[in-house]
C-alpha cells in the first residue's frame, strides 16, 4: 500500500497531497497527475504495479482529494504545483498525466523543462474543448449529503440525476461520507471551468520525448490537433489503445500499464 504524505512548503502554497508507492531507485521517480474530479487513489492499482521498478508518486491535484483548495485553477498554477513536488523528490521525474492532469503535465514541461525527463500525455491535446463538465458539478451539488450514510446512498441519488453508473462510483470516491462533504472544491472548479476546458496560448515549446497515448474509441485527440501538438512538442509521438475510451487507464489498465512501462524504460 502506498504511503500517504502531506507535504508543506515551496512556491506559494501548501504542497499537493501525495500517495507514494515503492522506494527511490536509480531510476527517476514517476509522477502521476489525475484528471478532473479524480484523485491519487484512483491510480492506486496502476501506481502500485509500476512501483516494482521505481518509486511512483500519485498526487491529488489542487481542489481535489486531500490537497489544498484555491480559487485559482489554471494550468500555470497546476504546473507549478507539480514542479514543487518534483523539486521535493529529487529534481527530475518521468510524468504521466491524464486529461486535465495531462494538460497540467504539458504546461509543467514547458514552464519547468529541466524537471521532466519523459512525458506521457493520456487522451488529451493542448487545445480548447467545447464540451462542458459543469453538469457533473451540478449533480454532485444536488446530492443531499444528510441522507448519505454510505457511498451507495450517494450513488443512488446520482442515478436519479441521470449520471452513468460507472461515473457514480468514480465521483463518490471523492466523497467523505463521515464528514458529509465532497473532497472536491465544487464551487471553485465551477468558477474556473473555462480555464480547465481551454489551454493557455503559449509561445514556449518542449523538445523532450513525449508520447500522446489515446483511447482508440475516444475523440479527445484528433488528427487535426497534431499540428498544434507538434508545434509545442516537436518530438511528440502518438499511440492508441484499441477499444479504450477517454478513461483508457481504467478501461484497459493492463494495456495502459504496458504502454507506460515501455515509454519510461527508454534510457
CA distance 251 to 265: 23
Distance, first Cα to last Cα, the chain = 28
pLDDT at 65: 97
Query: Which domains, from first to last, does the chain contain?
Result: 3-129+198-264 (3.40.50.1820), 134-190 (no CATH)
217 alpha-carbon distance from chain centroid: 20
pLDDT at 13: 52
What cell does 56 get? 511512483
- Is pLDDT at 7 greater than 70 in this prediction? no
- Over pLDDT 90: what percentage of the chain? 91
pLDDT at 131: 85
- Is pLDDT at 3 greater than 80 in this prediction? no
What cell does 124 get? 488529451
Considering the entire predicted model, what is its pTM? 0.93
Rg (CA), the chain: 18
CB atoms within 10 A of CB 103: 29
Tell me what the mean pLDDT of segment 202-210 comes to.
95
- Is pLDDT at 183 greater than 60 in this prediction? yes
Amino acid at each position: 500500500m502506498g504511503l500517504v504524505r502531506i507535504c508543506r512548503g515551496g512556491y506559494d502554497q501548501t504542497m499537493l497531497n501525495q500517495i507514494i508507492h515503492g522506494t527511490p531507485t536509480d531510476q527517476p521517480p514517476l509522477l502521476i497527475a489525475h484528471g478532473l474530479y479524480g484523485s491519487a487513489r484512483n491510480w492506486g492499482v496502476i501506481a502500485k504495479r509500476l512501483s516494482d521498478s521505481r518509486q511512483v508518486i500519485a498526487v491529488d491535484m489542487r481542489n481535489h482529494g486531500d490537497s489544498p483548495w484555491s480559487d485559482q485553477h489554471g494550468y500555470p498554477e497546476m504546473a507549478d504545483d507539480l514542479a514543487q513536488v518534483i523539486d521535493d523528490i529529487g529534481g527530475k521525474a518521468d510524468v504521466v498525466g491524464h486529461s486535465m492532469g495531462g494538460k497540467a503535465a504539458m504546461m509543467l514541461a514547458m514552464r519547468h523543462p529541466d524537471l521532466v525527463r519523459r512525458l506521457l500525455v493520456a487522451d488529451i491535446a493542448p487545445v480548447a474543448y467545447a464540451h462542458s463538465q459543469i453538469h457533473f458539478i451540478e449533480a454532485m451539488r444536488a446530492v443531499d449529503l444528510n441522507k448519505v450514510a454510505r457511498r451507495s446512498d450517494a450513488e443512488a441519488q446520482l442515478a436519479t440525476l441521470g449520471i452513468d453508473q460507472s461515473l457514480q462510483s468514480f465521483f463518490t470516491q471523492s466523497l467523505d461520507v463521515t464528514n458529509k462533504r465532497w473532497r472536491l472544491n465544487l464551487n471553485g472548479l465551477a468558477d474556473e471551468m473555462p480555464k480547465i476546458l481551454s489551454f493557455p496560448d503559449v509561445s514556449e515549446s518542449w523538445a523532450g520525448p513525449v508520447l500522446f497515448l489515446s483511447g482508440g474509441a475516444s475523440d479527445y485527440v484528433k488528427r487535426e490537433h497534431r499540428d498544434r501538438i507538434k508545434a509545442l512538442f516537436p518530438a511528440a509521438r502518438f499511440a492508441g489503445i484499441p477499444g479504450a475510451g477517454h478513461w483508457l487507464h481504467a478501461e484497459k489498465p493492463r494495456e495502459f500499464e504496458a504502454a507506460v512501462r515501455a515509454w519510461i524504460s527508454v534510457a
